Structure 1
Amino acid sequence: MRAQEITFLKLVQGDKQFQVPLYQRTYSWGREQLQRLWDDVSELVDQQLAGAAPAPHFLGSVVLAPGQLQAGGVQRWLVVDGQQRLTTLMLAFTALRDHFRETGQDRFADRVHKQVLANEFHEGLDHYRLLPTQADRDAYIACLGATPRAGGADNVGAAYRFFRGALAEEPEGRAEGWAETVETVLKDLLSIVEITAEKGDNVYRIFESINNTGVGLSQSDLLRNYVFMLLPQRGERVYQELWLPMQQQLGPKNLELLVWLDLVVRGNNKAKQSEIYREQQKRLEPLAGDEEALQREIALLAERGGRLLRILEPHRESSPALRTALERLASWGGQIHYPLALHLLDLVDAGRATAAEAAEALGHVESYLVRRMICQVPSNNLNRILMDAPKELEQDRSPADAVRRYLSGRRRKWPTDEELHEAVRTKPFYWSGRPHQRFHVLRRLEESHRSSEPVDFARADLTVEHVLPQRPPQAWYDLLAEETEDGQTPQELHDLLVHTLGNLTLSGENSRLSNHPFRRKQEILDSSSLRMNQEIAAAERWGRAEILDRADRLARSAAEVWPGPVGSVRSADEEWPGWAELRAALVAMPSGTWTTYGDVAELIGSHPVPVGTHLSGRPGVIGAYRVLTSDGRVSASFRWPEGRGSGTPQELLEREGVPFDAAGRAHRSRRLTATDLASLLGKDLPQDNPDDPLPDAENAAAAKRFEAQLKENQPEAADGVLAALRFWEQQGGYRTYGRHAETSCFPVLDAGTPTRPHTLWPFGLYPVSGTVEVVFQYLKDRSPFDDTALRRELLERLNAIDGIELAEAKLELRPSFPLQVFAAHSEELCAVLEWFVHTAALDLARRP
């Protein structure tokens, strides 16, 4: 074998083809890996545009073995290892090519296609420089060929759509030539080690050895070895007195975190946690030969380790005010505040700031994070903003004033009081942030009442509750019908209100509150210890007016709890963040799907009319043709941008596979709801999950509640559903139930071993709303259904049953069919369940 470091362009140029062999898994990179790569690319682009000379970014290795060379053909290479990054980069270039075409830069598009993607003078399969494994091939070729099916529901399509969206949202204030610089970075500044096997090498054995390596040294291990190599005289004493106690206190993971934070607080805000050994080595290298200076450096690191412990475990902080501020940020979760918090503790311990000043500064950080979450400001640059803070803060101001002024910077997007108020009224708060962050906001709002007998939140078992239910019975729709606007249905009004903050509260009585009419809920809420629940119970009814009135009160409280930026006026030319979210949602939609103006409005916290106005007034939004009226028709106001668009939106959607009826209405099975769009954007949607089972006693009570709700709301389907669940149990499965008011039921299968637990479930059954959700969204991450072909087979087996029509474009989502199907087709559904169990058993038998 031979190895060489090479750029991506040099790797792929020439008449060659990279073939992914059958033993390789299918393409599996998800949003997290794609975002990490794009962040690295964006950083290199910024450096290049700023006139710096960025060092190439090491992407990893690609192991190749020579394939068959035919006379006059292409040189074939088998991709032994590295197909994930190779496929990802090819898809990034495909999206870049299409971005150039979309923006009228055809010359650049042709250059990308001929230099990177295709063997220009070869036809058939030889035309493609990359040939993925068979399971991914059609999806990849659809993207490369720019067909209507490009960007489907599989991982290949999702990666293509991710890069299309990232390129469409060029950064604010971008320099001219930004997209061309992206091309330069992808071609010339991503460094790859090309490892080439010789003819006759056993490539499968090479693949096995590469993917079965032992545990390597951590970054902190490498740094420790380097430092003590430079301490031949003092090493043993320094290790015993400084390094070992620090290592024992923090543990390996937090020690590595400390070493990274030490770089960031010192001003190296570009440092990556994967490269801290190299960066620290570079910093300490000038001290080689000066053991006293190295000892001082380790002593300073150990002192910072003590401060990091106060951040990780706030009870260690002696100042009550600072302890409370640290506790609140710990409750918020994540490490995003660590660099700034560590910098502030440095100042306090050095006597350059008081604990009260540091606590006030951290209060501004909490306000910044909470307001952005409520207003759903995109978080893609949040890490960078807070990592830059220690270096960028004004030194001649108090820490609190310096932090507030820094976070108030124009491009740092700290929402104003006006923006906060509007978001509380309109944004789907239930889809914002993480569950613990939503709980944090509601808890702080409750605490703002300063009750004489406050609730002990540490002991209370509280969850977020919808007052207007998510799946309400008809009585609730009758109430909402009194407040609808012209042309608006009660369902549409419900969807715009249900997830807003004004309709949410905390309660420990979720199952009792259920979907009851408001009068029954009043009685339960009135007995609550929470002031916010007592206020809700005092209302005469619960509809649009009451929800918006409560939203106004909560917005005023939120503005007091979390003060806003300096100069609370948004610039007139600054775009509302919801429009960026709209564009991201449309790009994220797989081919063969459509949505409505109302669904988009629900997602971004707007109204169908301004959504339509925005789309008609901003031609060229990618995927705008996918937005239809509530009954699935093309809007009369839709217009293609001048010089673009071939055919009508209906014709284009039909080419993608969306059926339309004779009246021009798109088929409902291809519609993506606001919930689907939120899921595609990676929002953390609260869902019942069998991996979070109820305790036995609660599960038994939930079983009775499920059957009661089923028989009350779906009497015709009840016998068929229960017969199928009994059949499931005969196959070795069991039932578990959800925690929400509508008691969902999941048929679960243990498909793992005692040492490697692994559960599978095909459906979620909802007895009040009468739906069965097919959980492709979960199955795509669980063997064996992480194989797209098996999920597609499940879909096809279900679609063979009358009354079920699931769209292939929803293989990453949770499409549904009516629970009533069980009434006439219980036996056919049992056959699908039997196949599901058999498929899982075969997979378990094959596993080591």
Structure 2
Amino acid sequence: MDVKDHPVITVLGESRCYIVPIYQRQYAWGDNLLKQFWDDVAAKAGEALQTGKPKFQHYMGALILAPGTTAVGKTPTMQVVDGQQRLTTFQLFIAALRVAAEGAGFADMAATLQGYLFNVPKVGEKDKDARFKLSPTPADRELFRFLMTENWDSVKAKYPQHFYKKGTLIWGQAPKPMRAVALFRELIDRYVRYGIVDTDEDEQERQGPDDVDTQQQRLQALQEALLLYLKLVVIQLGEDDDAQVIFETLNSKAEPLLAMDLVRNNIFHRAEAQGESVQDLFDEKWSVFEDEAFWKADAPRAKPRRPRIDHFLSHALTAQTGRETSLREVYAEYRDFARPRGTPRFSTVADELDALTLYAPTYRTLERPDGSALGWLGEKLATWEVAVIYPAIFMVAAAAIDDDEKSAIYRLIYSYIVRRAVCGLTPKNYNKNFERLSAIFLEKGASLQSFRQFFEDATAYTVRFPDDAEFTAALGTIPIYRNMGRKERIADILWEIELATRTKFQAQGGRPPGLSIEHVMPQGWRTHWPLPNDEFAPSIGTVVTEPSLANAITARDALIDTLGNLTLVTQPLNSHLSNGPWKEKRPDLEDALLALSSAIVKVEKWDEAAIRERAQSLADKSVVIWPSLNRT
């Protein structure tokens, strides 16, 4: 048996045909595994674009090969005992990447990728199948080869039963290799054209694709990430090795190790070697991580989906070093942290554990809010799904500053996230922004002054902290209901304004469950809501030729989804209100008993002027709720 690790370029670069035995199962990777694979590739591509070369290569598991055939004048073969699923995925991804390169006009790149899908036939070789790098199980073979050799239009023509008439894939019934190629094509296209990694992000698509040079760089980075920075542990069996026994051993039902399990083993192995009391270290320090129900559960809103313990370790390392930590290589990152360039960072393992566990209580409070100022911030970050700020928060919580100063920083963090979202500014660079903030805290100490200074010096579009003028203008004009995405975030904004609007004579309870966002003037306003000149607009789809009427309709539509036209009501009331006229809607809103609606129901006619007036009133409250850098 020979065991070595190799990058994918070595595995697929050899002139060799990998044969999946007939007894192996069909290709089985579903959407979740494919997206995890994409996350790994895109993460390495992003590192390559930012730094030129990732700090670590990423291991994708094992590939077990048994001897095949070797003969003069024939392409050598190897039997794939284990790893055929990931090997097939590599091929499907390369096929999708090749299509993207061809579509973008990068013929040289497409030709290079072709070399990792096909072998160069030997002179006189009669076996036509030998030209494929991979020969899947017979159940997948015909479709797989068609996907390797034909374009997407040909796939639609040959397999029309898997496509709707408009040409999109019928996802639930399409074979998994076909689904994989379709998904990879979509993900690659969005990444190359817009720089979007996450399938939930869409803000950049509205701004148009990036320039051709940038697209080519991203394609090149994806190619390098897959071929150079993903690795496999290749186990080549000898003639006398029992392939089935090895396969069963490596695929036993044991629970896989987490990154923190590897860290723990590494730490206590060194502690024992250095003569420190392993039992005391475990009892006094490590035991904080032994609540498996908390630490081994997936972090519910963090990406990628991993156990909390792995996310915590990544955040803690960033807080300790001021550098972004790769979650996918977090064990390698920890080893590099504990022993940079082979030299121990800490004089004892006890000191190392003190550094590792320092932020555990802070993380727990952020994930399980307890009513404190820190817990309040944790609730807000959960709503806005921004966990990349955790390292900076760790440093604030541990800083030698008073609680009022910490609370002011927490409020500004929340304000920064909300202001940027309302102003339509991208959250794409949050990881880099907050990494730099962590580095500033490490250098100057975590304080309100260093926080303010960081953002006062940051004027770039992707970093800046919107001032009151920009924030106020956005609150009156930007259609946040349409732009913000998750409605829970809009509800959070409205509820904070509700709290700020209440007087001592109104109910002071917490947020009732099930509140719904209501458009005061409904989105379907045309039936019962006349324009300012008392004229009713024609139904949607009717061509309007009169300029004044067209302008009035456009002006109203622009205000419908702005904050000035939104409020909170219970879900039953939302359904009851529907698109009814103002005279029917007004008394129902009065019965809602929310301070947020108290000013609305005093208005005799709810129209464009009323929406703008309310937007200004809400903006006046909002600049206090979400303060600017110098207001706290």
Match in the other structure for 1:342: 394
Aligned to 2:229: 189
Which residue is 1:36 aligned to? Answer: 39
What is residue 568 of structure 2 aligned with on the other side?
506
Are residue 158 (structure 1) and residue 203 (structure 2) matched? no
Say if 1:261 and 1:339, in contact at 8 Å, map to a contact too.
yes
Alpha-carbon offset, residue 266 of structure 1 = 0.9
Letter aligned with residue 223 of structure 1: V
Task: Determine whether 1:242 maps to 2:285.
Answer: yes
1:298 is matched with: 353
- Distance verdict in 2 for CA 1:341–1:290, change over 3 Å: closer
Give the alignment of 1:137-286 within 5 angstroms.
138=143, 141=146, 145-148=150-153, 153=169, 154-169=179-194, 179-196=219-236, 211-229=251-269, 230-231=271-272, 232-244=275-287, 247=290, 251-253=294-296, 256-267=310-321, 269-285=323-339
Q: 1:322 to 1:243 in 2, by over 3 A?
A: closer
Alignment partner for residue 307 of structure 1, among 362, 368, 371? 362
Counterparts of 2:385 and 2:498 in 1: how far apart (Å)?
A: 20
SS in 1 for 2:285: helix
Q: How does 1:663-682 map to 2 (within 5 A)?
A: none
Residue deviations 1:510-542 (CA, integer Å, cap 9, x gap): 343344444332221112222332333344555
Match of 1:521 among 585, 609, 625: 585
Tell me which residue corresponds to 1:727.
none
Deviation at 1:61, TM superposition (A): 2.7
Q: Do the aligned residues in 2 keep the contact of 1:29 with 1:84 (CA within 8 Å)?
A: no
Specify which of 417, 420, 428 is matched with residue 372 of structure 1. Answer: 420
Residues 533-572 of structure 1 correspond to what in structure 2 (within 5 A)? 533-540=597-604, 550-551=614-615, 553-555=617-619, 557-563=621-627
CA shift at 1:167, angstroms?
1.8
Q: Are 2:41 and 2:226, in contact at CA under 8 Å, matched by a contact in 1?
A: no
**Matched positions, count:** 556
The range that moved more, 221-230 or 480-489, is 480-489
Distance of 1:280 and 1:339 partners within structure 2: 15
Moved more, 486-495 or 151-160: 486-495
Aligned CA distance change for structure 1 residues 39 and 110 (closer, same or farther; 3 Å): closer
How far apart in 2 are the matches of 1:514 and 1:343?
48
Match of 1:9 in 2: 9
Given the superposition, is the C-alpha separation of residues 99 and 392 from structure 1 closer, same or farther in structure 2, using an over 3 Å criterion?
A: farther
Superposed CA offset, 1:597-645 (max 9, x none): xxxxxxxxxxxxxxxxxxxxxxxxxxxxxxxxxxxxxxxxxxxxxxxxx
Residue type of the partner of 1:234?
S
- 1:58 is matched with 59
Letter in 2 for 1:446: E
* Equivalent residue for 2:594, pick from 526, 530, 533: 530
- Return the offset for 1:45: 0.8
- Measure, in 2, the Cα distance between the counterparts of 1:250 and 1:212: 24
Say which structure, 1 or 2, has more relative contact order (CA 8 Å, 6+ apart).
Answer: 2
Cα distance in 1 for partners of 2:594, 2:621 equals 15
2: distance between equivalents of 1:94 and 1:514? Answer: 49
- Answer whether contact 1:375 1:415 (CA < 8 A) is retained: no
Q: State the SS of the aligned residue for 1:443.
A: helix
Asked if residue 457 in structure 1 is aligned to residue 510 in structure 2, the reply is yes
Match of 2:320, as an amino acid?
A: R
Please state whether the residue corresponding to 2:233 is helix, strand or coil: strand
**Could you tell me how far apart the structure 2 residues matched to 1:519 and 1:136 are?**
67
CA displacement 1:200-238 (0-9 Å, x = unmatched): 999888777655521134333333343334144533333
558 and 5 in structure 1: CA distance in 2 versus 1, 3 angstrom threshold: same
Q: Which residue of 2 aligns with 1:578?
A: none
Counterpart CA distance in 2 for 1:267 and 1:290 is 12
Q: CA RMSD in A?
A: 4.7
Q: Distance in 2 between matches of 1:136 and 1:494?
A: 57
Are residue 45 (structure 1) and residue 48 (structure 2) matched?
yes
* Structure 1 residues 189 and 25: alpha-carbon distance in aligned structure 2, compared to 1, 3 A threshold: closer
State the Cα distance separating 1:390 from its structure 2 match.
Answer: 1.2
Note if contact 2:564-2:618 (Cα within 8 Å) is conserved in structure 1: yes
- Residues 274, 45 of structure 1: alpha-carbon distance in 2 compared, 3 angstrom cutoff: closer
- What's the secondary structure of 1:118's corresponding residue? coil
Between the two proteins, what is the percent identity of the paired residues? 22
**Cα distance between partner residues in 2 of 1:373 and 1:128:** 49
TM-score, length of structure 2 as denominator length: 0.71
Q: Aligned equivalents of 1:374 and 1:466: distance in 2?
A: 17
| Structure 2 contact 497–622 (Cα < 8 Å) conserved | yes
CA contact (8 A) 1:374 1:424 kept: no
Unaligned runs of 5+ in 2: 156-166, 170-178, 197-209, 297-307
How do residues 612-761 of structure 1 correspond to structure 2 at under 5 angstroms?
A: none
Summarize the Cα distance change of 1:357–1:177 in structure 2 as closer, same or farther, 3 Å threshold. same
Is this contact kept in 1: 2:56–2:332, CA < 8 A?
Answer: no
- The amino acid across from 2:625 in the alignment is V
Please tell me whether the aligned partners of residues 56 and 329 of structure 2 are also in contact (alpha carbons under 8 angstroms). no
Residues 1:242 and 1:69: Cα distance change in structure 2 (over 3 Å): closer
The within-5 A match list for 1:320-469 is: 324-325=376-377, 328-329=380-381, 332-333=384-385, 335-347=387-399, 351=400, 353-393=401-441, 395-396=443-444, 399-407=447-455, 408-410=458-460, 412-414=462-464, 416=466, 417-418=469-470, 421-422=473-474, 425-427=477-479, 429=481, 432-452=484-504, 453-469=506-522
User: Matched residues in 2 for 1:295 and 1:493: separation?
Assistant: 66
Distance of 2:77 and 2:418 partners within structure 1: 53
What SS class does the counterpart of residue 11 from structure 2 fall into?
helix
Q: In the alignment, which residue of structure 2 is the partner of 1:108?
A: 109
**Separation in structure 1 between the aligned mates of residue 294 and residue 9 of structure 2, nearest angstrom:** 42
**Is the 1:250–1:305 Cα contact (8 Å) retained in structure 2?**
no
For 1:430 and 1:563, how far apart are their aligned partners in 2?
24
Deviations 1:377-402 (A, max 9, x none): 45444334324421134845872343
What is the rounded CA distance, in whole Å, between the counterparts of 2:405 and 2:601 in structure 1? 40
Q: Could you tell me how far 1:243 is from its partner in structure 2?
A: 2.9
Residues of 1 paired with 2:40 and 2:236: CA distance? Answer: 24
Q: Equivalent residue for 2:301? A: none
Aligned partner of 2:462: which letter? Answer: R
Q: Are the aligned partners of 1:455 and 1:529 in contact in 2 as well (CA < 8 Å)?
A: no
Cα 1:510/1:77, change in 2 over 3 Å: farther
CA distance in structure 2 between the partners assigned to 1:546 and 1:83 by the alignment: 64
- 5+ unaligned residues in a row in structure 1: which ranges? 567-848
Contact 1:357 1:398 (C-alpha < 8 Å) held by counterparts: no
User: Structure 1 residue 5: deviation in Å?
Assistant: 1.2
Q: 1:55 to 1:482 in 2, by over 3 A?
A: closer
Residues 4 and 47 of structure 1, relative CA distance in 2, 3 Å threshold: farther
Give the deviation of 1:482 after TM superposition.
9.1
State the SS of the aligned residue for 2:370.
Answer: helix
Secondary structure of the 1:529 match is: coil
Write the distance in 2 (CA, Å) between the matches of 1:422 and 1:543: 19
Q: Deviations over 1:456-501 (max 9, x none)?
A: 2344542233445567895469955499994679999998766554
Amino acid at match of 2:366: I
The alpha-carbon deviation at position 410 of structure 1 amounts to: 1.3
Tell whether the 8 Å contact from 1:61 to 1:82 is kept in structure 2 after alignment: yes
In the TM superposition, residue 37 of structure 1 has moved relative to its aligned partner by 1.9
What's the secondary structure of 2:36's corresponding residue?
Answer: helix
Q: What TM-score do you get using the length of structure 1 for normalisation?
A: 0.55
CA–CA distance in structure 2, aligned partners of residues 260 and 276 of structure 1: 6
Contact 1:430 1:438 in 2 (8 A): no
Q: Secondary structure at the match of 1:213?
A: coil
